[in-house]
Amino acid sequence: MTAAPSDLMAKADLADAAGAWLRYLAVERQLAEKTREAYTRDLKYFLAFLAAYRGGPASLEDFEGLAARDFRAFLAARRESGVSSRSLARTLSALRMFFRFLDRRGIMKNDAILAVQTPKLPHGVPKALSIDAALSLAADAGPGEAAGAPEWVAARDSAVLTLLYGSGLRISEALGLARAEAPVGRHDVLRITGKGGKERVVPVLPVAQSAVAAYLDLCPFVLAPEGPLFVGVRGKRLSARVVQLVMQRLRGALSLPDSATPHALRHSFATHLLGHGADLREIQELLGHASLSTTQIYTEVDTARLLKVYDEAHPRAR
């Protein structure tokens, strides 16, 4: 997205500034398309609110005159519409980014938004699987798309799940791999471009290499080097929904909780590394987190596990 959407409820000068900001996000910041789409929606909601709130489309001059109460009124209206605290926090972050862009480009300046407090987010701890459960998921991945699916589909599912757990990949990162990037033979690392265009190098365990090699040996399709590594039964790129359905089936077969999702394998990767002595900075690099504070949540996961063991094992805890 390189231009301002035509349905922005704003006067020409503000719409032009919005277009410049969206180009900046795409070209200079290189934010992911989904992130840019979310920020665009946030700006649309804000401009639509201002148009109703002030009786007409806003201009840059109107933006300069906004007070903290105006932003709070917008957030309150969104809250009444049922928007979650997490979405509100993202919306406020997007608007702050836009106002900062306008300031740095010398277009206009208004720091009132900085006086608005970010909505408090519920504090959630990632739900990691046990080591045995994580290992079983990859080992027991059977026909994933339908009962009686061919053997190569089972091999594919096992390869995908082994990569998610063995290398801590996001599902989109695993399914975005090209055939030329297949970690087989001497190719024992992957260069992954994650959120925000951040690139990282992750090792691939021999068991994951073997799983990918087994899948490639059985796959009935000729995979072009620049085409997808993992494909569905029609030879097109495998969808995340198929992998989610595989996990759903395995949850029932292995009596695992609903929290056992493809992304839980990434959480398990980080938690199990931490539990076996890996350095937090190293885990940050492997996961591709921009901030160490994002990775630090796994220390709480490991603490929770230790406290559970303590409660179950210590004689005075019974």
Backbone dihedral angles phi then psi of residue 276, each to the nearest 5 degrees: -105, 20
pLDDT 10s digit of each residue in the chain, 318 long? 445 666 788 999 999 999 999 999 999 888 878 888 999 999 999 999 999 988 899 999 999 999 999 999 999 999 999 988 888 989 999 999 999 999 999 999 999 999 998 887 665 656 778 888 888 887 777 544 445 678 999 999 999 999 999 888 889 999 999 999 999 988 888 888 887 777 888 889 899 999 999 999 999 999 999 999 999 999 999 999 999 999 888 888 888 888 888 888 888 888 888 777 777 777 777 777 766 666 666 665 555 554 554 556 556 555
Tell me the one-letter amino acid at 313. A
Model pTM? 0.58
Backbone dihedral angles phi then psi of residue 202, each to the nearest 5 degrees: -125, 140
Domains of the chain: 12-115 (1.10.150.130), 131-259 (1.10.443.10)
Q: Tokens 């998921």 — which residue?
A: 137
Tell me the one-letter amino acid at 122. P
Backbone dihedral angles phi then psi of residue 105, each to the nearest 5 degrees: -90, 0
- Which pLDDT score is estimated for 145? 45
- Which pLDDT score is estimated for 200? 85
Tell me the one-letter amino acid at 232. G
- Work out the number of other CB atoms within 10 angstroms of the CB of residue 182: 21
Catalytically active residues, by annotation: 170, 195, 263, 266, 289, 298
Q: Which CA distances in Å does 43 have to 16, 91, 242, 304?
A: 13, 8, 33, 39
- Which pLDDT score is estimated for 144? 45
Q: How long a stretch of residues is the chain? A: 318
